[in-house]
Amino acid sequence: MRATERKRPGAAPSSPRPGFEVWLARSAQAALVFLGVTAFFFILQAGSFLLVPVALAVVVGLMLSPIALRMERRGIPPALSATASVLLFVLVIGFLVAALAAPLTSWAGRVPQIWNELQLRLTSLSEPLATMRSLREEIRNVTGEAEVTVSVEEGSAMESFAMLAPTVLAQVVIFFASLYFFIATRHDTRLAILKMCSGRNLRWRASHIFRDVEELVSNYLLSITIINICLGLAVTLALWLIGVPSAPLWGAMAGILNFIIYIGPAIMAALLFGVGLASFQSFAGSLLPPLVYLMLNAIEAQFVTPTVIGKRLTLNPFLVFLAIAFWIWLWGPIGGFIAIPALLIAFAIARNIIPGFNWGLTHEKRRRYSRLP
């Protein structure tokens, strides 16, 4: 028996083992996925000039879509409903800019005073700072490191602004144009994509992806907007009660920065610490405004937002942090704003494509989507 199994001279070599072929196929697929993800990141980075305003317009358009839909149900054409939605957005932004411009300019002129106040309040730490300074000098003498001289040329800020202004203006134009056409043609875009889907099952899933994306993103943004407005009012009232000047300004800033989770509250606390330095005589008093704000922000983040948003969607905090860090690294502050909507869009696509996908959903949503084929 063993003699018959021996290979004869000149016989063809045996085919690879099935397990090895499967390993090769999976390795090739993993390599293709890695190359595709790398190319996708490169495209996002290289095309940021165009992609950033377009992505922001899509997110804002999803938030304004329910308003446009209510107008269309009353017989208003999509073109007019899109125009009205964009004008409403412009009026809101214009009102915020007009209301915040004057007090922000006034406080910007007080930055040197705040810096001087901070230096005076830190005089009690003069000895530890002197020790650190002497240690730095010793390290510099040992390593032979030379002092670095930094020179700032006059007019460099104006030159940078002059070079940056056309880019910003072009992106603003792209944003508003994308916002208008997205709202006006969203139904036509959906029908065109559904017609491209071959097969009833694929068309059904694509239709549910559109529905879930609009529902999740619009509900999230509208809910977060209402929560942030309430947070801004609460911060305004609390800061006014403890005697902080320009309390409405800081309340509005708190509501706006709260759209960027984690990063926005940290920036707001730092701003209120500077305001406290300029408003109170003692160092402990200067800590009062950021502590009051952080207390209100903690109540909002731990109780209010989970109660409102948790009924619709529960996101993994680690995924939220990774999404915010990634998009801020990629696109800056605008990336931080669109991070959560982008994560919601990814969830909406995954739950309709991957069978049994329910990570990040509440129990009600899990029961609903467990019935999907």
Which one-letter amino acid corresponds to residue 233? L
Indicate whether 192 and 210 sit together in one domain.
no
Question: What local confidence, expressed as pLDDT, does residue 357 receive?
Answer: 62
Indicate whether 180 and 242 sit together in one domain.
no
SS (H, E, C) 144-172: CCCCCCCCCCCCHHHHHHHHHHHHHHHHH
Indicate whether 367 and 242 sit together in one domain.
yes
Give mean pLDDT in consecutive 10-residue pieces for the chain, a chain of 373 residues: 50 57 80 86 87 92 90 91 94 88 77 69 58 63 51 50 75 93 91 84 86 85 90 94 89 90 87 84 83 92 77 69 87 86 86 68 45 42
Which of these, 229, 259, 250, lies nearest to 100 by C-alpha position? 250
Indicate whether 259 and 298 sit together in one domain.
yes
Of 181, 196, 211, which residue is a domain's last? 196
| Global pTM value | 0.71
Question: What local confidence, expressed as pLDDT, does residue 351 receive?
Answer: 82
In a domain, 147, yes or no: no
Q: Which domain holds residue 59?
A: 45-108+170-196
**The two three-digit tokens of residue 61, written as one number:** 């358009």
Indicate whether 207 and 354 sit together in one domain.
yes
**The two three-digit tokens of residue 13, written as one number:** 């070599």
Question: What local confidence, expressed as pLDDT, does residue 184 receive?
Answer: 92
In a domain, 269, yes or no: yes
**The two three-digit tokens of residue 67, written as one number:** 């308003």
Indicate whether 82 and 212 sit together in one domain.
no
In a domain, 92, yes or no: yes
Other Cβ atoms closer than 10 A to 68: 23
Indicate whether 103 and 249 sit together in one domain.
no
Number of domains present in the structure of the chain: 2
The full length of the chain comes to 373
Q: Coil, strand or helix: which one is 361?
A: coil
In a domain, 154, yes or no: no
Q: Coil, strand or helix: which one is 335?
A: helix
Indicate whether 81 and 221 sit together in one domain.
no
Question: What local confidence, expressed as pLDDT, does residue 362 receive?
Answer: 45
Indicate whether 321 and 192 sit together in one domain.
no
Indicate whether 298 and 364 sit together in one domain.
yes
Indicate whether 208 and 184 sit together in one domain.
no
Q: Answer whether 359's CB lies under 8 Å from 316's CB.
A: yes
Question: What local confidence, expressed as pLDDT, does residue 289 receive?
Answer: 92
C-alpha atoms less than 13 angstroms from C-alpha of 224 in its C-beta half-sphere: 22
Indicate whether 209 and 244 sit together in one domain.
yes
